């Protein structure tokens, strides 16, 4: 048995030049586990709290308190614990924090420590993390959803919609899905340059959205797919993250770019019109987190042919997902470890999604680092899908390239999820059971 000898916190930096928390766990054997917490910009109000110092230094984003909590209280509480018992470690973190949304010690502190514990356990077992998590289950390489154009809170609200993405379930491998996406990304850049609209990239690496309407972005995406030599709806499909909580409240949706406000029905009409006209396979957060009615009606109308994803509303929370399942509010859930705050709660959310018959997408945040823990979670837990932002920027390619390597390593053992990852397909063999480790 290996036990925790020491937990250390460290301030490191994320892709938005903001500080974030790294945790390092050293075991009595000398084995080490290390992980970094990511950070969202379009966060749900029910998420674990990302503890920031406030004040003026570094725009108020510093994390000295969260880092201090890791090195003092958390270190003292976890010393001597069995590294194999992730559930007990996470329980102790939750009890030590003592608040409903981890606001005392910080969701960022807890996320980093919980993920570091997982890495330390894999190091102690001398296996890659995804193997440690899979426990002999059959694995799939996840289907990626990849951003081509950024927007919303990740691009100064230059367009209202947050993510214009592509997904390639008809690809025969992950590597092929990446190649198609790369072609579309480069074609989109070419087309934007031709229009004199190549202004760089947004927070997650997608092209900066210089458009006069949201629909113009969709049209450009269609032309990029065609110009890359693909047929939209065959080799390449479209996915959207509306992130409607960012511009919707009390059933009213303010499209700032187009200077108009829609009610719930108007919003549904707009999105259903897009689904009719464009090969859209997946829509995330089509309504705001305070609008479950909008979600339910939308899922009833299109859930049979489109993946309807809950992110801000479901916040990787098992109880919320179970409730959403009972009211058929969505058919897919985003799984973000730092929304939950611990690995055990993240796995519980994924299990709740399985029980509900929902599909699941393990997801990065808009503020990311070179940390690739979510790749191991997606593969080891057989989540089926993964979303990491665009195909540009190092904090994104760190994850994609890790998956390229894994697909190669697992050739013959793991298949590419493709269509099987989408809602309505039979439950994958080897869904996770009840323990993180
Ligand atoms: P966030 O964006 O990390 O800023 O929340 C990602 C998403 O909404 O999916
Ligand atoms: Zn989202």
Residues 156-185: tens digit of each pLDDT: 999 999 999 999 999 999 999 999 999 999
Q: Are 55 and 157 part of one and the same domain?
A: no
pLDDT for residue 434: 42
Residue 273 CA, ligand 2 centroid: distance in Å: 21
Ligand nearest the Cα of residue 44 is 1
- Give the torsion through C-alpha atoms of 286, 310, 363, 193, to 10 deg: 0
Residue 326, judged by CB atoms within 10 A of its CB (0-12, 13-18, 19+), counts as: exposed
Per-residue confidence at 431, pLDDT binned at 50, 70, 90? low
* Cα separation, 167 vs 278, whole angstroms: 13
Q: Are 120 and 143 part of one and the same domain?
A: no
Residue 134 located in a structural domain: no
**Pocket mutation for ligand 1, best pick of 46, 335, 365, 368 (most atoms within 8 Å of C-beta):** 365
Report the nearest atom of ligand 1 relative to the CA of 40. 3
Domain closes at, from 126, 152, 168: 126
Residues 314-326: tens digit of each pLDDT: 999 999 999 999 9
Residue 154 CA, ligand 2 centroid: distance in Å: 11
Q: How many domains does the chain have?
A: 2
Q: What percent of the chain has pLDDT over 90?
A: 95
Which residue in 381, 423, 434, 408 sits closest to 138, CA to CA?
Answer: 381
Q: Are 152 and 106 part of one and the same domain?
A: no
The Cβ of residue 431 has, within 10 Å, a number of other Cβ atoms equal to 18
Q: Are 374 and 420 part of one and the same domain?
A: yes
The token pair that represents 108 in the structure block: 């960022």
Asked if 22 contacts 36 with a C-beta cutoff of 8 angstroms, the reply is yes
Report the nearest atom of ligand 1 relative to the CA of 162. 8
Give the active site residue among 145, 204, 345, 368. 204
> Residue 322 carries which DSSP code?
H
Q: Are 192 and 341 part of one and the same domain?
A: yes
Residue 186 located in a structural domain: yes
Residue 133 located in a structural domain: no
* Cα separation, 240 vs 309, whole angstroms: 10
Report the nearest atom of ligand 1 relative to the CA of 284. 9
pLDDT for residue 428: 54
pLDDT at 436 over 50: no
Place of tokens 């958390």: 74
Q: Are 37 and 63 part of one and the same domain?
A: yes
* Pocket, ligand 1, Cβ cutoff 6 A: 40-43, 153, 162, 241, 243, 311, 334, 363, 365-366
Q: Are 36 and 156 part of one and the same domain?
A: no
Residue 314 located in a structural domain: yes
Q: Are 167 and 46 part of one and the same domain?
A: no
Asked if 12 contacts 20 with a C-beta cutoff of 8 angstroms, the reply is yes
Residues 416-428: tens digit of each pLDDT: 999 999 998 765 5
> Residue 30 carries which DSSP code?
S
Which has more confidence, 118 or 436? 118
Residue 273, judged by CB atoms within 10 A of its CB (0-12, 13-18, 19+), counts as: exposed
Per-residue confidence at 107, pLDDT binned at 50, 70, 90? very high
**Pocket mutation for ligand 1, best pick of 366, 385, 396 (most atoms within 8 Å of C-beta):** 366
pLDDT for residue 138: 87
Which residue in 141, 117, 140 sits closest to 129, CA to CA?
Answer: 117
The token pair that represents 244 in the structure block: 């409607």
Task: Kindly give, in sequence order, each residue whose CB lies less than 8 Å from that of residue 154, ignoring residues fewer than 6 positions away.
Answer: 41, 42, 162, 163, 202, 203, 204, 206, 366
Give the active site residue among 22, 145, 336, 399. 336
Q: Are 202 and 112 part of one and the same domain?
A: no
Residue 243 located in a structural domain: yes
Q: Check if 138 is active-site.
A: no
Q: Check if 323 is active-site.
A: no
Residue 237 CA, ligand 2 centroid: distance in Å: 18
Q: Are 145 and 62 part of one and the same domain?
A: no
Per-residue confidence at 432, pLDDT binned at 50, 70, 90? low
Residue 127 CA, ligand 1 centroid: distance in Å: 31
The CATH code of the domain that includes 9 is 3.30.390.10
Residue 131 located in a structural domain: no
Q: Are 118 and 216 part of one and the same domain?
A: no
Q: Report CA 76 to chain centroid distance, whole Å.
A: 31
pLDDT for residue 435: 42
Residue 152 CA, ligand 1 centroid: distance in Å: 10
Q: Are 87 and 151 part of one and the same domain?
A: no
pLDDT at 102 over 80: yes
Which residue in 364, 247, 280 sits closest to 316, CA to CA?
Answer: 364
DSSP symbols for 332-394: EEEE-HHHHSSHHHHHHHHHHHHHHT-EEEEE--SB--S--HHHHHHHHTT-EEEEEEES-SH
The token pair that represents 32 in the structure block: 């080490």
Residue 365 CA, ligand 1 centroid: distance in Å: 5
Ligand nearest the Cα of residue 339 is 1
pLDDT at 430 over 90: no
The Cβ of residue 355 has, within 10 Å, a number of other Cβ atoms equal to 14
H helices within 155-291, ranges in order?
174-194, 214-227, 264-277
Domain closes at, from 93, 126, 159: 126
The residue-averaged pLDDT of 355-361 equals 97
pLDDT for residue 137: 87
Report the nearest atom of ligand 1 relative to the CA of 41. 4
Q: Give the torsion sign (CA, 313, 158, 253, 330).
A: negative
The CATH code of the domain that includes 155 is 3.20.20.120
Range scoring the smallest mean pLDDT among 63-67, 187-191, 228-232, 411-415: 411-415
pLDDT for residue 26: 98
| Secondary structure of residue 351 in the 3-state scheme | helix
Residue 132 located in a structural domain: no
Q: What is the model's pTM?
A: 0.97
Left if phi > 0, otherwise alpha if psi is -120 to 50, otherwise beta: which for 337?
alpha
Residue 225 located in a structural domain: yes
The Cβ of residue 72 has, within 10 Å, a number of other Cβ atoms equal to 12
Whose C-alpha lies nearest to ligand 1, atom 1?
Answer: 40
Q: Quick one: three-class SS letters along 175-204?
A: HHHHHHHHHHHHHHHHHHHHCCCCCCECCC
- Domain that residue 397 falls in: 139-435
Domain closes at, from 75, 95, 126: 126
Ligand nearest the Cα of residue 145 is 1
Report the nearest atom of ligand 1 relative to the CA of 363. 9
The token pair that represents 261 in the structure block: 């406000």
């Amino acid at each position: 048995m290996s036990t925790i000898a020491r937990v250390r916190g460290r301030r490191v930096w994320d892709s938005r030049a903001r500080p974030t928390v790294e945790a390092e766990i050293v075991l009595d054997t000398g084995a080490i586990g290390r992980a970094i917490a990511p950070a969202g910009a379009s966060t749900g109000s029910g998420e674990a709290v990302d503890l920031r110092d406030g004040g003026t230094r570094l725009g108020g984003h510093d994390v000295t308190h969260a880092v201090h909590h890791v090195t003092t209280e958390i270190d003292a509480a976890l010393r001597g614990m069995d590294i194999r018992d992730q559930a007990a470690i996470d329980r102790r973190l939750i009890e030590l924090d003592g608040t409903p949304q981890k606001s005392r010690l910080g969701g960022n502190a807890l996320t980093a420590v919980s993920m570091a514990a997982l890495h330390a356990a894999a190091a102690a077992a001398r296996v890659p993390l995804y193997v440690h998590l899979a426990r002999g289950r059959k694995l799939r390489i996840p289907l990626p959803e990849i951003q081509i154009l950024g927007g919303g809170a990740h691009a100064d609200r230059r367009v209202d919609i947050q993510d214009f993405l592509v997904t390639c379930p008809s690809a025969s491998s992950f590597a092929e899905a990446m190649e198609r996406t790369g072609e579309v990304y480069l074609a989109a850049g070419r087309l934007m340059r031709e229009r004199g609209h190549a202004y760089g990239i947004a927070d997650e690496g997608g092209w900066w959205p210089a458009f006069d309407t949201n629909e113009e972005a969709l049209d450009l995406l269609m032309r990029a797919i065609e110009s890359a030599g693909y047929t939209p709806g065959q080799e390449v499909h479209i996915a959207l993250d509306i992130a409607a909580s960012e511009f919707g409240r009390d059933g009213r949706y303010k499209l700032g770019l187009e200077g108009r406000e829609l009610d719930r029905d108007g919003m549904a009409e707009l999105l259903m019109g897009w689904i009719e006209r464009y090969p859209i396979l997946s829509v995330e957060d089509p309504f705001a987190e305070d609008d479950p009615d909008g979600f339910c009606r939308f899922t009833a109308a299109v859930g049979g042919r489109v993946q309807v994803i809950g992110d801000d509303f479901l916040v990787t929370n098992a109880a919320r997902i179970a409730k959403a399942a009972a009211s058929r509010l969505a058919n897919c859930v985003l799984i973000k470890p730092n929304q939950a705050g611990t690995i055990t709660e993240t796995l519980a959310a994924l299990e709740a999604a399985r029980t509900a018959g929902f599909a699941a997408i393990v997801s990065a945040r808009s503020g990311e680092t070179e940390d690739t823990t979510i790749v191991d979670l997606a593969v080891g837990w057989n989540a089926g899908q993964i979303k990491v932002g665009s195909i540009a920027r190092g904090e994104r390619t760190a994850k994609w390239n890790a998956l390229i390597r894994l697909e190669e390593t697992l050739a013959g053992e793991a298949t590419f999820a493709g269509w099987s990852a989408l809602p309505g397909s039979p439950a994958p063999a080897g869904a996770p059971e009840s323990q993180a480790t």
